[in-house]
Amino acid sequence: MQTHMAVHADPTRGTDMQGSGAEPAASDVLAAIVASLEDDKAEDLAVIDLRGRTEIADYMVVVSGRSSRQVIAMSEKLVDRLKRGLGRSARMEGKDQGDWVLIDAGDVIVHVFRPEVRDFYQIEKMWAGTPGTAAAAGD
């Protein structure tokens, strides 16, 4: 069972770091990601705090899009916004199919699913019962 967590995303946070050579903090990257996904009408957004539990990233974001077209569009816009806003390059896999797109933004891993695919893989269950699993407000 997930608890609700308010995620206050300010898409302008961290933009002053662009060009300064400083890497944006994981929380700034997370805020930019959440803002982008919310702007694109993502559904069932869940933020999973991975700090202290794995070396792969500090946060994982899992979200659904209503169709393959929306999954692809949200993913492309997210990668573009991270590059323009934070100067952060992100790798993307799965865009061609549009069922499940994985975006590796370094400190934050993003999974964008079609609802049926998300239900099938149930990626959040891997983290069920562990501290830090939360859904964003507004779902």
- The CB density around residue 64, as the number of other CB atoms within 10 Å, is 22
Report the pLDDT value the prediction gives residue 131, as an integer from 0 to 100: 56
Query: Given this structure, which CATH class describes domain 3-136?
Result: alpha beta
Concatenating the DSSP letter of every residue in the chain gives -PEEE-----TTTTGGGTTTSPPPPHHHHHHHHHHHHHHTT-EEEEEEE-TTT-SS-SEEEEEE-SSHHHHHHHHHHHHHHHHHHH----EEESTTT-SEEEEE-SSEEEEEE-HHHHHHH-GGGGGTTSTTEEEETT-
Report the pLDDT value the prediction gives residue 27, as an integer from 0 to 100: 92
Report the pLDDT value the prediction gives residue 23, as an integer from 0 to 100: 76
Report the pLDDT value the prediction gives residue 53, as an integer from 0 to 100: 86
- Which position has the token pair 């060009």? 19
The residues that bridge with 93 in the sheet, in sequence order, are 102
Report the pLDDT value the prediction gives residue 128, as an integer from 0 to 100: 62
One pLDDT digit (tens) per residue for the chain, 139 residues: 333 333 433 333 333 334 445 678 999 999 999 999 999 999 999 999 999 888 999 999 999 999 999 999 999 999 999 999 999 999 999 999 999 999 999 999 999 999 999 999 999 888 765 555 554 434 4
Where do the structural domains in the chain lie, given as residue ranges? 3-136
